[in-house]
Structures are given as structure tokens and as C-alpha cells.
């Protein structure tokens, strides 16, 4: 009998995704694994037990996890689940360790070798394993769909015998994976799209998708990107100028989508309450960072809030899970691609090479200890999460901003920076960083 891979049903009521597909089950069997899928694991992703069984899986129960050498999950297992895990089992999932020191310590205590898929390095070899890119891509798409649904008007311009329906104006804040897909989706639906980011390379990316780029393009802006492609912290003077331009622009928009996240910190506040108050009744804001505190003042996790001036702020949780059937297929392939690197091809057995760059980047716990350098003291010295960067720092307050944007210097020649095939994210980092070649 070969080694066993177990695919459990996710216990979180807000998590409809599953960590396998019929295709990946077949390929796992080809790697030499016996595959057990918990009954009902794929139901909310439109994958029946019968489909998994036809692909070669055994349909089992939750207790079968005790037999597993490898457990593939979407979300980090909790302590009640870990009680049944075999010591030494490899557990691969989106671990979300920041600010969850007790949960990380519980993984170590359970004796499992845990891998955090969101730490996958952005290198060519790991493109197919980049879960943040695959899921953020779908989140960007769904954000536009959710925004359009709440907007309750047509997005494209329509010229009819009864009159003309004007095109909706959509503003994307943050041009990372989610932001780029949101731009592309909004453009396909016929909206007039603008986008902003403090990285000069983003201007070309935005233009390539048919949208207009919005930024104060002064000398500081030209030097606002690090060698690694990330945004530099901007001066307060630049922030004030950009705030004035952004505040004036937001007031004219029909839909605003925000995507900014910073690993290990609450999401930066990009849209102040004053900016929300300046928008027209019926306008919509979709906050993709709501699970980490939100980019928008007034956003509430899991709810659609209507402000006093009639603006809807959409704060859906687990946005990729809102398109679970697609998200699960992509996520399952990400996991399979990574697991393949952990298998010895000749013996068809799990053989974790702890000096491999992918293993070193993603391994969170091993041998009863927290081994990732960023969390090595999680069981001794709990992490204290810093406060969110306030809206007044990130974008200033609309009420304090000048009525007119600061004068802009003549447009400079096209940036000499090569077009990045791996654009990092928004004002600081997008809703999800991405690997090279992700749209």
C-alpha cells in the first residue's frame, strides 16, 4: 500500500472551496498516492463524491485523516482537527499565520510538517504553485461582478431609440493581480475605467488594458519603485498631492474597487469617510481587503453597508470562494504542482528536501517546532500586530484636501523601467502578490 493523501471537507461555513479536483486526484494517484476524499468535501464547489470516486479516490470520513501522510486543505486546520492528524504528516494549506501565533504553535504541538502556500516565492519555477495569484485573479473578477450587481445600472454605454444609457465609471485602487483582473473585467463589460498605483511600471500595465492611469507624475513618482518591483514609501508632500487628485476623482465615480494589503499588517485605509460622503447616491465601493481591516472607512466584514448618503460599501468575505467552482480547480492545481516537488520520482514516496528553496520558503512547522524564521518565536513571544496605517496618512482626508489637485508637471518620457511581468501590488502591496506572467 502506498502513502495516503487525504482531502477533508472544510469546516469553516464561509469556505466553499476544496483542495482537490477529479483531475488532480488522477494525477495524485499517478504519483503513487492512495487518495481519500472526505464525503461532501467538494459539494459546495460543484464536485460530487461520484466524480471523485470515478477519478480514483476512496470516499471516506473525517476520521480517515489519521491514516494520511499528506493532508491537502484550503484553510489552516484548527486544534480540534489536529487532534486526529498523524504526527509527521505533511499539511499543505493557506495557513494565514500573521497574528495567529496560537494557531501556529498548535500546528507545531501536533507534530505536523505544515506548509504555508501563501509564502511561495515569486520565481519562475513556482509560477504554477502561486495560490495568491490564482485566487486574487478570481477575486478581482468577482469584485467587478459584485460591484455591478449592487450598482443596479448597466455598465456599458447603450444608444437606443429611447435614449442613451451612459457608461459607468469604475476606479481601481491598486494594480496588482486582483487590480489588473478587475480592470480587464470592467473594460470587457463596457465601463470607463481608471486605476491608480504609486509604481511607475503600473502606468503601462493599466494602459495595455485600455484604462486610464491616475497619479501625480512628478520626479518622486518616477523613483517610487524599488529594484524588486515594490512601492517605496512616499513623502507626506506627495501623499497630499495624490490625496487631492484621488479625492476629486472618487467623487465622480460610480464604482470604486480597493485591493491594497500589506503582509503582516492590517490593510491601509485608502478611502476616508469624507471621500465616501463625497460620492453620489447609488455609488458602490467594493473593499477586497475587508478581512484584514479594510481599505475603506465604514466597511464591515461580511456585509453590504449603505451609508447615509446612499453609497453602498461591499465587504464580502472570502471573495474567491464566491466563485468556488473555478477557484477550487485552480487551487487544487497549485497544491498538486507543489506536492510533485516533494515526491521522489523513482520510489514514488514523499521525500521532503529541507534545503530546497520552495520548502525553506513555505515550511511553517516541522518536528514539533515552528521553523519559519518569521514565526519561530510564535509559541514563546506572541506577535503584536501593528496598527493600521490611517487614511489620513495613506491618502489624506478628503475634507482637508485642496479643492483642486496640485499642478501636474508635463508628462515625462515613457519610463525606462522594463514592463514587469510580475507587477507587485497597489499603494504598498496588492490584495495578493503575484508571480511572473500572471495577468
Residues forming the active site: 122, 127, 130, 133, 230
Residues in CB range of 255: below 8 A, 6 or more apart: 144, 147, 148, 151, 168, 169, 170, 171, 186, 191, 283, 284, 285, 286
The C-alpha atoms of residue 108 and residue 118 are separated, in whole angstroms, by: 18
| Residues 416, 417, 421: CA angle, nearest 5 degrees | 140
Provide the 8-state DSSP code for 99: T
* Bridge partners, residue 59, by sequence: 37
d(CA 430, CA 137): 11
State residue 169 phi and psi, 5-degree precision: -105, 120
Instruction: State the residue for C-alpha cell 485602487.
Output: 173
Phi-psi region of 264 (alpha: psi -120 to 50; beta: other; left: phi over 0): left
**Is residue 201 within a helix (H) or strand (E), and if so which, with residue range?**
helix 201-208
Alpha helices in 15-92 (DSSP H): 22-30, 49-54, 79-82
| The residue to which cell 504555508 is assigned | 116
* 316 neighbors 290 (Cβ within 8 angstroms): yes
Contact assessment for residue 114 and residue 368, using Cβ atoms and an 8 Å cutoff = no
Q: Calculate ∠ Cα 145-305-167, nearest 5°.
A: 40
State the Cα torsion 326-329-333-335 to the nearest 10°: 100
Dihedral sign computed on CA atoms, order 432, 433, 438, 439: positive
Non-local (6+) Cβ contacts of 396 within 8 A are 239, 240, 243, 244, 247, 272
Residue 317: CA atoms inside 13 Å, Cβ hemisphere, count? 12
Amino acid at each position: 500500500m502506498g502513502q495516503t493523501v487525504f482531502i477533508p471537507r472544510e469546516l469553516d461555513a464561509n469556505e466553499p472551496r476544496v483542495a482537490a479536483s477529479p483531475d488532480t486526484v488522477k494525477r495524485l494517484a499517478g504519483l503513487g498516492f492512495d487518495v481519500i476524499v472526505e464525503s461532501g468535501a467538494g459539494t459546495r464547489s460543484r464536485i460530487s463524491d461520484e466524480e471523485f470516486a470515478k477519478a480514483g479516490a476512496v470516499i471516506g470520513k473525517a476520521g480517515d485523516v489519521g491514516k494520511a501522510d499528506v493532508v491537502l486543505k484550503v484553510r489552516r486546520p484548527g486544534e480540534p482537527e489536529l487532534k486526529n492528524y498523524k504526527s509527521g504528516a505533511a499539511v499543505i494549506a493557506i495557513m494565514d499565520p500573521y497574528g495567529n501565533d496560537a494557531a501556529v504553535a498548535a500546528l507545531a504541538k501536533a507534530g505536523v510538517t505544515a506548509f504555508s502556500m501563501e509564502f511561495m516565492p515569486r520565481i519562475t519555477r513556482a509560477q504554477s504553485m502561486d495560490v495568491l495569484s490564482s485566487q486574487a485573479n478570481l477575486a478581482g473578477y468577482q469584485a467587478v461582478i459584485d460591484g455591478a450587481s449592487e450598482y443596479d445600472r448597466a455598465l456599458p454605454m447603450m444608444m437606443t431609440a429611447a435614449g442613451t444609457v451612459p457608461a459607468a465609471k469604475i476606479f481601481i485602487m491598486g494594480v496588482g493581480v486582483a487590480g489588473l483582473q478587475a480592470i480587464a473585467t470592467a473594460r470587457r463589460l463596457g465601463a470607463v475605467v481608471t486605476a491608480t498605483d504609486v509604481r511607475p511600471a503600473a502606468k503601462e500595465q493599466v494602459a495595455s488594458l485600455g484604462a486610464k492611469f491616475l497619479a501625480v507624475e512628478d520626479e518622486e513618482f518616477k523613483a517610487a519603485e524599488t529594484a524588486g518591483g515594490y512601492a517605496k514609501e512616499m513623502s507626506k508632500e506627495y501623499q497630499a498631492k495624490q490625496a487631492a487628485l484621488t479625492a476629486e476623482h472618487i467623487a465622480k465615480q460610480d464604482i470604486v474597487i480597493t485591493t491594497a494589503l500589506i503582509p503582516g499588517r492590517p490593510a491601509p485605509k485608502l478611502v476616508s469617510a469624507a471621500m465616501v460622503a463625497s460620492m453620489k447616491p447609488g455609488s458602490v465601493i467594493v473593499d477586497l481587503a475587508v478581512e484584514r481591516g479594510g481599505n475603506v472607512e465604514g466597511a464591515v466584514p461580511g456585509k453590504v453597508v449603505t451609508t447615509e448618503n446612499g453609497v453602498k460599501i461591499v465587504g464580502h468575505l472570502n471573495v474567491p470562494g464566491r466563485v468556488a467552482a473555478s477557484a477550487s480547480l485552480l487551487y487544487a492545481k497549485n497544491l498538486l504542482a507543489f506536492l510533485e516537488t516533494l515526491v521522489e520520482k523513482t520510489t514514488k514516496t514523499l521525500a521532503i528536501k529541507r534545503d530546497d528553496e520552495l520548502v525553506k520558503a513555505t515550511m511553517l512547522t516541522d518536528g514539533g517546532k515552528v521553523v519559519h524564521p518569521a514565526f519561530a518565536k510564535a509559541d514563546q513571544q506572541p506577535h503584536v500586530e501593528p496598527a493600521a496605517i490611517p487614511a489620513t496618512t495613506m491618502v489624506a482626508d478628503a475634507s482637508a484636501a485642496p479643492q483642486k489637485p496640485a499642478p501636474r508637471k508635463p508628462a515625462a518620457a515613457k519610463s525606462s523601467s522594463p514592463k514587469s511581468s510580475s507587477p507587485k501590488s497597489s499603494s504598498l502591496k496588492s490584495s495578493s502578490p503575484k508571480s511572473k506572467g500572471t495577468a
